[in-house]
Structure 1
Amino acid sequence: MDWLERVAGLRQWTRGGTRAPHKPLLLLYALGRFREDSAGELRYSAVEEDLGRLLAEYGPPNATTPAYPFHHLTGDGVWEVRTDRGPGSPGTGVRELRASGAAGRLVPELRAALRRDPQLLGRMAQLLLDLHFPPSLHGELCAAVGLEPGPVEAVRLPAGRRQRDRRMRELVLTAYEYRCAFCGYDGRIGAVPVGLEAAHVRWWAYDGPDEVDNGLCLCSLHHKLFDKGVLGVGDGHRVLVSRHFAGGSRPARDHVTALAGRPLLGPRPGARPVAAAHRAWHLRQVFHGAPRAASAS
């Protein structure tokens, strides 16, 4: 059995580019726990809080519950659930999962495969990250679920999956003249830019094209905050800052909250600005809460 193909084919709600990373997050969490204890199981009542935090931090802006993937992942052939009454999930109800003593774990065949091939766990985790999250979040997400960051070996996407266009970074950085579109940072060592990255507005994992009108040149800090939903791009290509962001220090005010309402820096004349459709996707699927009022400064 090709476990990578099975993981790549997790059934998810995908209509209209809607983010639904519930199953991938649960599976990443389960892989991290397997790494710690390959014989253990995850009792829902014991892991509900952990899974809730993962969904709140890395899931879509709308409220959700970890009960959904805990039950529905059983249909993908990688996860099983039992209760105090025996095998099988009681459903998606939080009360039912708690009251029945529901516990889940990877199916026996997958557990055996992971024991036979120690590198399979790393390849599966990297595939889940590549298919559902932007690279700026991979390291911290690995840390959050107890996995080592980075693949054990290079992971090729399954046949039929589109591949990234390696030219995008240079095209985007050139279009924005090698400076952060939010703050203007343009550091370099000699002729080599340092701390500047090409961010997808609509994530590549959700059919975001590798094109200039879906990209922003951002410094490392603002790229991370953009992908975390703290920052966004609104009408008139002005910077949005989430009201959910809190930071009382002067650096937090200067580098984040003071950006509210500022126009983007770039792109250069003749280059295509961020397309409205991609900005709208980011605001629906990534940006958290309502934007702050424009900064007086």
Structure 2
Amino acid sequence: MDWLERTANLRQWSRSGARAPHKPLLLLYALGRFQEDAEGELRYSAVEGDLKRLLAEYGPGNRTSPSYPFHHLVNDGVWEVRTDLGAGSPGTGVRELRGTRAAGRLAPDLRARLRREPSLLPRMARVLLDQHFPPSLHGDLCEAVGLDLDLERTEAGGRTAARRQRDRRMRELVLTAYEYQCAFCGYDGVLGGGAGGGLGAVPVGLEAAHVRWWAFEGPDEVENGLCLCSLHHKLFDKGVLGVDTGHRVLVSQAFVGRSAAAREHVTALAGRPLIGPQPGARPVAAPHIAWHTAQVFHGEPRPTTTA
């Protein structure tokens, strides 16, 4: 059985690029817990809070109860559920899962394979991360579910699911289009090249952000990219920041920051026009903005005070 292929083909609700990372998040969580305790079960009542937090932080704005993937992941052959009544999930209802003391864990054949081949676990995790989340979130997500991907170094002999190849020119094209400055705040730091930059200077803390995530058919093109500093890239991918159709910065009302730094670097951005791109470069395309607003941006935007 090709577990990587099965991981890559989890059955999910899908419509017009909508995100449905519920099963991938549960499977990542289960892989992390397997690393910690290969024999342990995940009783729904005990892990419900963890799964809710994962869905709130890494899922779309229209959040779903963790009972949904806990039940439906069984259909993909990687997960099993048992209750006081015996094998099988009692349904998607929270009351049913709690009342029958439902507990889930990785399917028996998968657990046996992971014991024989430890390198399979990080390869499965990498498939889930690459297909459902942008690279800027991978480290935080692994930490959140307790995953250690160090074993990934042994991947060379294993099979991997077919996937699109990234265009390595994307970063340079986007940074050039935005003249090496953050489109939200104007940060333009470089390392080396003397006090004024120049020959030998290397941009530092600047990244090419996909507006429509690459994992969701977002193209490696300038019109799907923004040059952002590391802070604003992370906040953009977390749904704290967004862009409206007039190419102005959106700030989520759900974001709370009481410090002067939070006000200066985040809330004060509300309504600010994007910096760039330079003349002749294509600005972010409307369909990509619409996808990010619907699938990543959290809640409603703060009122703008900028004219």
Which band: TM-score by shorter chain? over 0.9
Q: Measure, in 1, the Cα distance between the counterparts of 2:21 and 2:233.
A: 20
Q: What is the letter of the counterpart of residue 239 of structure 1? A: V
* Maintained 8 Å contact 1:143/1:149: no
> Which segments of structure 1 move beyond 4 Å, counting only runs of 4 or more?
154-157
Q: How does 1:115-264 map to 2 (within 5 A)?
A: 115-148=115-148, 152-153=152-153, 158-159=161-162, 161-189=163-191, 190=193, 191-264=201-274
* Maintained 8 Å contact 1:233/1:239: yes
- The Cα shift of 1:150 comes to 6.2
- The Cα shift of 1:149 comes to 5.2
Query: Normalising by structure 2, what TM-score?
Result: 0.94
Q: What is the letter of the counterpart of residue 161 of structure 2? A: P
- The Cα shift of 1:199 comes to 0.3
* Maintained 8 Å contact 2:208/2:226: yes
Matched residues, number: 296
Of 268, 275, 293, the residue aligned with 2:285 is: 275
Q: Measure, in 2, the Cα distance between the counterparts of 1:144 and 1:295.
A: 36
Q: Measure, in 2, the Cα distance between the counterparts of 1:92 and 1:206.
A: 27
Q: Measure, in 1, the Cα distance between the counterparts of 2:160 and 2:222.
A: 23
Aligned to 2:82, the other structure's residue is in SS state: strand
* Maintained 8 Å contact 1:186/1:196: yes
Aligned to 1:16, the other structure's residue is in SS state: coil
Mapped pair 1:45 → 2:45: yes
Q: What is the letter of the counterpart of residue 292 of structure 2? A: H
Q: Measure, in 2, the Cα distance between the counterparts of 1:173 and 1:87.
A: 54
Q: What is the letter of the counterpart of residue 168 of structure 1? A: M
Aligned to 1:17, the other structure's residue is in SS state: coil
* Maintained 8 Å contact 2:60/2:296: yes
Q: What is the letter of the counterpart of residue 18 of structure 1? A: A
Mapped pair 1:287 → 2:303: no
Aligned to 1:10, the other structure's residue is in SS state: coil
Residue 5 of structure 2: aligned partner: 5
Say if 1:149 and 1:268 are closer, same or farther in 2 by CA, change over 3 A.
Answer: farther
Give the CA RMSD over aligned residues: 1.4
Say if 1:24 and 1:137 are closer, same or farther in 2 by CA, change over 3 A.
Answer: same
- The Cα shift of 1:162 comes to 1.4
Q: Measure, in 2, the Cα distance between the counterparts of 1:88 and 1:158.
A: 29
1:252-297 alpha-carbon deviations (Å, 9 max, x no partner): 1110001011000000100000000000100000001111112469
Query: Normalising by structure 1, what TM-score?
Result: 0.97
- The Cα shift of 1:32 comes to 0.6
Aligned to 2:208, the other structure's residue is in SS state: strand
* Maintained 8 Å contact 2:272/2:306: no
* Maintained 8 Å contact 2:13/2:20: yes
Q: What is the letter of the counterpart of residue 280 of structure 1? A: A
* Maintained 8 Å contact 1:242/1:291: yes
Say if 1:17 and 1:218 are closer, same or farther in 2 by CA, change over 3 A.
Answer: same
Q: What is the letter of the counterpart of residue 30 of structure 2? A: A
* Maintained 8 Å contact 1:80/1:105: yes
- The Cα shift of 1:2 comes to 1.3
- The Cα shift of 1:157 comes to 5.2
Q: What is the letter of the counterpart of residue 102 of structure 1? A: A
Q: Measure, in 1, the Cα distance between the counterparts of 2:133 and 2:41.
A: 26
Q: Measure, in 2, the Cα distance between the counterparts of 1:52 and 1:150.
A: 27
1:20-68 alpha-carbon deviations (Å, 9 max, x no partner): 0000000000001101110011111111111011001100100210011
Say if 1:16 and 1:45 are closer, same or farther in 2 by CA, change over 3 A.
Answer: same
Say if 1:150 and 1:141 are closer, same or farther in 2 by CA, change over 3 A.
Answer: farther
